[in-house]
Amino acid sequence: MRALRLLAVVLFLVSAPTMADDDRDTLATMLDAFLAGASIGDASVHERFWADDLVYTSSAGARTNKAAILESVRGAADTQPDSPAVVYTAEDVDIRLYADMAIVAFRLVATPSDGSEVLYYFNTGTFVARESEWRAVAWQATKIPSP
């Protein structure tokens, strides 16, 4: 029995870094897919990315939730041109795992397609793994002032 417990602990320790690396890769891929979809106003990426109980604080200080975000994205879909007005990308992505929670912090780069000033934001999201899927439950965006 002792040998089985020891074997279980060894197997867990050997597999734990792999699971963590897999979760980091999953979250990084989710973030990239979300930003690409958000750039074109794809409501389905918002549906997948945000948890139903999301608390979102915008860079303007407005607090909102998933339902309001989806309503806004779906309403804008009718008025958006074929090409994105702004392309969103992430830089300096820092993903920290805590069992079934993760913090994803990064610098959001908002590049307007019309060539106007590129804007930068610090974003921090808290993710929870529910039913084997990561979802953002809290989000904070802060505009970085232009130099």
The predicted-structure confidence for 91-123, as pLDDT tens digits, reads as follows 999 999 999 999 999 999 999 999 999 999 999
pLDDT band at 14 (very low <50, low <70, confident <90, very high): very low
Question: CA 131, 30, 56: angle at the middle one, nearest 5?
Answer: 80
* Residue ranges of domains in the chain, CATH in brackets: 2-144 (3.10.450.50)
pLDDT at 78 exceeding the cut of 50: yes
Q: What is the mean pLDDT of the chain?
A: 88
pLDDT band at 147 (very low <50, low <70, confident <90, very high): confident
pLDDT at 12 exceeding the cut of 90: no
Enter the tokens of residue 105: 């912090």
DSSP letters spanning 33-95: HHHHHHHTT-HHHHHHHEEEEEEEE-TTS-EE-HHHHHHHHHHHHTT--SS-SEEEEEEEEEE
Q: What are phi and psi of 62, to 5 degrees?
A: -90, 135
pLDDT band at 76 (very low <50, low <70, confident <90, very high): confident
Higher per-residue confidence, 77 vs 103:
103
Residue 26: what residue type? T
| pLDDT at residue number 146 | 86
